[in-house]
Chain A
Amino acid sequence: MGITDRGLVLACSAIGAGLALIAGIGPGVGQGIAAGHGASAVGRNPGAKGDITSTMLLGQAVAETTGLYGLAIAFILLFANPLIGKL
């Protein structure tokens, strides 16, 4: 098997980038819960729709942060790989 060191590191980095995006599950669930509660709040109190929507969007954007950390790790592994330099 002619697997070079460089090839091995690149292949494992690609797998690692894919695994890092599993972090997307959490924000997905969290944003769904927030949107569901927002919808039921509007159902109970339709007059406060504007306030509810802006609060919901703010909370969702904060919940999204953990997913973006995973995305940042994936980008680092794919495009600015620090492991290649260690060979």
Chain B
Amino acid sequence: MKAANLLASSDAEVDFFVHGVFSYELFGQTFWITTTHVAIVIVMLLIVVFAVAARIAISHAEKYPRGFQNVVEMIVEMLDKMVVSSMGPYAKKFRNYIGSIFIFIFISNISGLFGLRPPTADYGVTLPLGLITFGIIQYNNVKYNKFGAFTGLFKPLPLLFPINLIGEIAVPFSLSLRLFGNVLSGTVMMSLIYTLLAKFAYGWPGILHIYFDVFSGAIQTYVFCMLTMVYVTDKLPEAE
């Protein structure tokens, strides 16, 4: 047992789990407030403070923007361009949702930099995000294709119905597992380095933080939003 732990400075346990903070009883079940809830509240507060500051900056907008107003306009333009480039004329109905999940997932992913356990490294956070996307996809499917939403499952061959059905149901799971797996693997790598290599981990893990938290987090955020838009656009009728 000791031989395997040669590099560890002490009997440090590798720790990347979700911890309970306190529990409460509801309808005879025990529920836990976990570190994920705490991290989400911190992320939410950060976003709300930024939103209020942005609101104040925009309400005193100047014709030639400078300082903080510039930053806010840059973010809005970037998100807007991303949605317009892949959804075309339908962009104005969906940019609120896409922009919101983009900012939330991005801040969650890079919250590992601030010493939090990223909320997106908990399957209980990413699965609801996937299910919301699934709801939006199916709502638009029924809204625009009417009965074709059901008969579409039998195209091109009636024989392919089970495969088409699985293909529809697998969407939220593949979306959420992709985000969860990427963020979790980054969290596990960083905690392995900080506990097993504790003697040598000074300074240089910062480079790995840039890769695992910032680069990987940004890519996965972009991919989640892109795929959401691709799936939704797929259900909308062709724009003239």
Contacts and interface: CB of A to CB of B under 8 A. Distances in A.
Interface string B166-181: 0000000010011011
A71 B121 CA distance: 13
Interface string B210-240: 0000000001101100110000000000000
B181 A72 contact: yes
A34 to B, nearest CB: 13
Contacts of B219: 57, 61
B182 A68 contact: yes
B185 A71 contact: yes
Q: How large is the interface on A (under 10, 10 to 19, 20 to 34, 35 or more residues)?
A: 10 to 19
Nearest to A65: B178
A68 B184 CA distance: 10
B227 to A, nearest CB: 7
B226 A64 contact: no
Contacts of B227: 58, 62
Given A57-B222, A62-B227, A75 B184 contact: yes
B68 to A, nearest CB: 27
Given A62-B227, A65-B174, A71 B220 contact: no
Interface in B1-34: 17
Contact of A72 (B177, B220, B222, B223): B177
Given A68-B177, A68-B178, A71-B181, 6 more contacts: A58-B223, A58-B227, A61-B223, A62-B223, A64-B178, A69-B181
29 contacts: A54-B222, A57-B219, A57-B222, A57-B223, A58-B222, A58-B223, A58-B226, A58-B227, A61-B178, A61-B219, A61-B220, A61-B223, A62-B178, A62-B223, A64-B178, A64-B182, A65-B178, A68-B177, A68-B178, A68-B181, A68-B182, A68-B185, A69-B181, A71-B181, A71-B185, A72-B180, A72-B181, A75-B184, A79-B17
